[in-house]
Every structure is written in C-alpha cells, then in structure tokens.
Amino acid sequence: MNKAATLSATSSRLLGRTFVHPIFDYLFIGGGLSLVVTAWVFAAGTPFIIDQAFFAYFLLFSNSAHFAASTVRLYTKRGSFEALPFITMAFPLVCLVVLAVCMIYPELLGENLLRLYLTWSPYHYAAQAYGLAVMYSYRSGCILSAPDKRMLWWVSMLPFLTVFLAARDHGLHWLLELGNLSLPLWVDTLLVETLGGSLRLLSFIAPPLLYTLVATNKSGPMPLISILAVATNVIWFAVLNTTEAFFWATVFHGIQYLAIVIIFHVRDRMSEPDNRHGIFYHVVWFYGACLILGYALFNCLPLGYNLAGFPPVESVWIVLAAINVHHFIVDGYIWRLKQGDSNRKVVEQGTTTAAGATAPT
C-alpha cells in the first residue's frame, strides 16, 4: 500500500464515519460549536442572555423542543406502541398523576422532584456523551472492548460526579437532606472542595489519556468525534461556573440531541418503501412537531394547573421538573438498539462491523 493511501485511510479513520457531513457532525453532534461559545462565554460572560425575551426564545427553540423531541420520536417511530406499551400508553397518565400529587404537596414532593431533575440532568448529559462516543466508534469500525467501554463510561461520568459532589441544592447534599443527615464541616469541605476539585481537574486530563490508551489497545483509535463528544461535556462543567454550565450544557445538549434524533427520524422515514417526501420535509415536520409540543408542555400546561387552583410558582417549576424527568425516562427506552430495530439499521448504515453498539443516551 502506498504512503498516500495509508495516510488517507488513517485520517479517514480518525475523522470517523459521520451521519451528515464531517463539519455538521463535528459542530452540532460532537459539540464543536459549543467549544467556540464556551471560550467566548469564559472570556466575556454570557452577554446576550441579559435580554430576558431573547433568553426565553432561545430556550424554546433549543431546550423545550429538545425535551419534546423524545416524545415525538417515541410516538412517530414505527412499532413503538407494540414494543413499548407501558411507556407509550400508560406512562403519560402515570406522569400526570405524579405531577398532580407533587402539586398538591409542593414542599414535600414538588421540591424533591425539582431537585431530582437537577441531579439527573448532568447524568443524562454524561450518558448521552458516552452513547454518542460508542456509536461513532462503532460506525467507524472501532470495536471497543469491554474494559475500554468501562473506561469510557467512567470518563464520561466525571462531570456528573463533580456536580453530584459539589452542588449544594441537589446531588449528594440533597440526598443527605432527604435522609435528614448532615455532614461535619470538614467532611463537607473535603467532598466539595478537595474531591470535587480533584475530579474537575481529572476530567480535563482523562479524555486525552483515555483516547491514547484506547488507541494503543486492540480496539484501535476511536474517531475524534467520539472523544470530542465526551470532552465537550467535560468542558461545559469544568470550565464554566455552575450557572453558566447548567445553562450552556442544557442548550448544547439540546442542539446535539435534536440533531441526532432528527437524523434517526429522517433516515427511518426515507427508508420506508412508501415514502413520498424528501429530507427537507421530514426535518421540518419533525422539528415543527417538537417546537409545538415543547411550547404546549412548557408554556401552556403550567397555566392549566394554575387554572385548576395551583399557585403560580408550583405550576411552572413542578411542571418543568416533571417534563424533564419524563424525558429522561423515555430516553432510556427510545435509543435501545435491539437486533432488527430501525435505530440499529441507522447506526449500521455503511458499516461492516458486527459488534454491539450503545444508544446515544
């Protein structure tokens, strides 16, 4: 094999097999765009969310649409009702009942639902980064061994562990409060500052170290987009302060999620024998549905609870927490890659590998 061909094969392997185009995948799914914004926010603060009206629209188009996307995907994926009868048919009512009970007991239950959502969010983001990393590796012919996968999992979880230890109003401190426990000040300082700080530091070092280790194993090098997905999640939480990290992680996780779920939806639809529409139609249809549902759930539903007599604050925040938790649970089901599932076909398109892959979340 000549040198040019070897070089080309190596660079193609490093780039990985992308879904749309390397630029699109690296910017929106890998999180490259978020690195640019993170650098900007780190240097200059978050200037444009000063305008509350702009901030609200920003949330609607990225965040609300993203939370609705899992529900839209669940109900538009062929065979969901048969494969997931509980999640598709019974779970919405279960959620409404839980929501109502939390509304009735806001301080006993509602507040804990909100803290559960805040605790779960960083885990959800970390799990998504892990899923994307494994999926791109698999598509690109890098079959991760079980120890490599375990290592990748723990590296992906570092930002979650940092937030879990360091956050005061959720995470470990919330769980301790639930059990009516409090830590001695020195233990608290040790956990939050020493251990939390060490994990934060480790989360910078770990992704490149992991990449090098995997590259030297028989798995071979992962595509760069895999490690980028993990590293961006690390950077959101390790570089920015808590407020900005939560905000930007939510926004970019939402963009990342919307991009990947739309790809899966469009490929499903395009592969149907009776499909008569083009890619653009399916993209607009899916995103439009997410936007409308996101708006209905986040902006209209809370007012419905208010009409039913529940106070304004609880109506807004507890609904928000419940929708988030619903999204986390639904996500755990809709990305499963069973043999014969359309998700698996999308991931496998163009690959010749045969090992098992993992879902994005």
Partner 1 sequence: METSASPRPLYRIVFWIGLVGLFGGIAAGIFQSLRFVGLPPGIDYQKIQDRLVERLEDEGDYAAVARQKRLAMKYKVPFVPIKSASPRDLAEMAVAWYEEGERTGDPFCYHRAALSFVEMQALLTINKQSDAVQTWQETGRRLESLPPVRSQRWSIANPHFLGQLAWTMATRPGSDEHDPVRAIKFAEMACSQTNYRDAELLDTLAVAYAAAGHFEEAVARAEKAIERVAATELDPQRRLDMEARLELYKKQQPYVQFGRRETAGY
Regarding 320 and contact with partner 1 (CB under 8 A), the answer is yes
| φ, ψ for residue 74, nearest 5 deg | -55, -45
Regarding 257 and contact with partner 1 (CB under 8 A), the answer is no
Regarding 79 and contact with partner 1 (CB under 8 A), the answer is no
Regarding 354 and contact with partner 1 (CB under 8 A), the answer is no
CA dist 351 and 15 (Å) reads: 15
CA dist 276 and 146 (Å) reads: 42
Q: Which of 55, 123, 153, 204 binds partner 1 (CB under 8 A)?
A: 55
Regarding 114 and contact with partner 1 (CB under 8 A), the answer is yes
- 3-class DSSP state of 338: coil
> Of residues 161-180, which lie at the interface with partner 1 (CB under 8 A)?
168-169, 177
Regarding 101 and contact with partner 1 (CB under 8 A), the answer is no
Toward partner 1, which CB reaches closer, 279 or 313? Answer: 313
**Which among 306, 317, 313 has a CA at the least distance from the CA of 112?**
317
Residues near partner 1 (CB under 8 A), total: 58
CA dist 202 and 166 (Å) reads: 15
CA dist 305 and 91 (Å) reads: 19
Question: 236, 249 in Cβ contact below 8 A?
Answer: yes
| φ, ψ for residue 214, nearest 5 deg | -65, -40
CA dist 57 and 322 (Å) reads: 21
Pure H helices in the chain:
3-15, 22-24, 32-44, 52-58, 65-76, 80-83, 85, 91-104, 111-139, 146-166, 172-178, 185-189, 196-216, 224-239, 242-270, 279-295, 301-307, 312-334, 342-348
Toward partner 1, which CB reaches closer, 27 or 60? Answer: 60
Toward partner 1, which CB reaches closer, 4 or 93? Answer: 93
Query: Rounded to the nearest whole angstrom, what is the least distance from the CB of residue 107 to partner 1 in the complex?
Result: 8
> Could you tell me which stretch among 23-31, 220-228, 265-273, 294-302 binds partner 1 (CB under 8 A)?
294-302
Regarding 160 and contact with partner 1 (CB under 8 A), the answer is no
Distances (CA, A) of 297 to 159, 208, 240, 333: 29, 40, 29, 21
Regarding 23 and contact with partner 1 (CB under 8 A), the answer is no
Regarding 93 and contact with partner 1 (CB under 8 A), the answer is yes
Q: Which of 125, 130, 237, 247 binds partner 1 (CB under 8 A)?
A: 247
Regarding 299 and contact with partner 1 (CB under 8 A), the answer is yes
Q: Please enumerate in sequence order all residues whose Cβ is within 8 A of that of 356, keeping only pairs 6 or more positions apart, or say none.
A: 337
Regarding 187 and contact with partner 1 (CB under 8 A), the answer is no
CA dist 238 and 201 (Å) reads: 8
Regarding 154 and contact with partner 1 (CB under 8 A), the answer is no
Toward partner 1, which CB reaches closer, 118 or 199? Answer: 118
Q: Is the dihedral of CA 222, 225, 226, 227 positive or negative?
A: positive
> Could you tell me which stretch among 29-37, 49-57, 138-146, 213-221 binds partner 1 (CB under 8 A)?
49-57
Regarding 306 and contact with partner 1 (CB under 8 A), the answer is yes
In the shown chain, the binding pattern of residues 202 to 241 toward partner 1, with x for contact by CB under 8 A and - for none, equals ---------------------------------------x
Chain residues that interact with partner 1, rule: CB under 8 A: 45-46, 49-50, 52-53, 55-57, 59-60, 85-86, 88-90, 92-93, 95-96, 106, 111, 114, 118, 168-169, 177, 182, 192, 241-244, 246-247, 250, 295-308, 311-317, 320
